[in-house]
């Protein structure tokens, strides 16, 4: 079955540090990958998505992710984090053969200290 | 425009009681999803509705859980005889299906606490 792994469960950074959150997916044919963010007390919202084309995807708030097929990875990056980036980040994908549910990783809690 | 709304935002219930959680999807979205977010389990898919098709109930954890979607819009998730392990945040999402993968828009969730 399709699965998504996020290896960093908690990340603590100082403002202006660079961020990279890991996401690995199991192979399942057509790849559709997402990064969602959940700010404290807010609902899940989409940061960026990859369906096809340019493997370097740019999202909102300065985030980007790179799809590397050979590594089954879709890591999230930001060159310089801000305190307001403190949130929980989820990588997600659709199962092979269907678009009817998202399979989420366990999430990574990011705390940015001023 | 209005996003996905859910009610109530918080629900505290006693073990053994039934609860109903409501979801209003974004107008025009044909697909509706329920997920559960709990400590130790992360985000789990529960059920999916798409138009007039039979719902995909493959994620429902037990027969105490059921959901319906009336008129292709509002959905209600019902949990009968609640148990403490049902405590979680229940999230609803909707999307516009155009034959392929689409972004899902999430509501704020209902935090259910079973005492």
pLDDT of residue A97: 65
CA A59 to chain CA centroid, Å, is: 10
Output A34 or B53, whichever has higher pLDDT: A34
Are B42 and A102 inside 8 Å of each other by CB? no
User: pLDDT band for position B97 (50/70/90)?
Assistant: confident
A90 lies within 8 A of chain B by CB: yes
Mean pLDDT across B50-76: 91
Are B48 and A106 inside 8 Å of each other by CB? no
B59 lies within 8 A of chain A by CB: yes
Interval A87-105: pLDDT, tens: 999 999 987 766 778 999 9
pLDDT of residue B55 exceeding 60, the answer is: yes
pLDDT of residue A109: 96
Mean pLDDT across B65-85: 94
pLDDT of residue A1: 67
d(C-alpha B106, C-alpha A7), whole Å: 24
Are A104 and B109 inside 8 Å of each other by CB? no
């Amino acid at each position: 079955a399709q699965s998504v792994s996020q290896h960093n469960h908690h990340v603590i950074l100082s403002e202006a540090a660079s961020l990279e959150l890991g996401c690995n997916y199991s192979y399942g044919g057509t790849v559709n990958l997402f990064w969602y963010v959940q700010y404290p007390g807010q609902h899940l919202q989409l940061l960026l998505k990859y369906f096809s084309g340019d493997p370097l995807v740019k999202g909102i708030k300065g985030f980007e992710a790179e799809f590397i097929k050979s590594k089954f990875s879709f890591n999230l990056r930001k060159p310089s984090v801000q305190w307001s980036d403190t949130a929980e980040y989820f990588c997600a994908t659709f199962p092979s053969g269907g678009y009817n549910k998202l399979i989420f990783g366990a999430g990574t809690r990011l705390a940015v200290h001023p | 425009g209005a996003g996905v709304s859910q009610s109530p935002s918080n629900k505290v219930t006693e073990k053994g009681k039934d609860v109903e959680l409501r979801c209003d999807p974004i107008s025009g979205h044909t697909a509706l999803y329920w997920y559960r977010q709990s400590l130790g389990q992360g985000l789990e898919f529960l059920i999916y509705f798409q138009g007039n098709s039979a719902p995909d109930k493959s994620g429902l954890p037990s027969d105490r859980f059921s959901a319906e979607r009336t008129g292709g819009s509002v959905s209600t998730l019902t949990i009968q005889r609640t148990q403490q392990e049902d405590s979680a945040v229940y999230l609803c999402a909707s999307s516009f299906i155009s034959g392929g993968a689409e972004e899902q828009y999430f509501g704020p969730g209902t935090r259910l606490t079973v005492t």
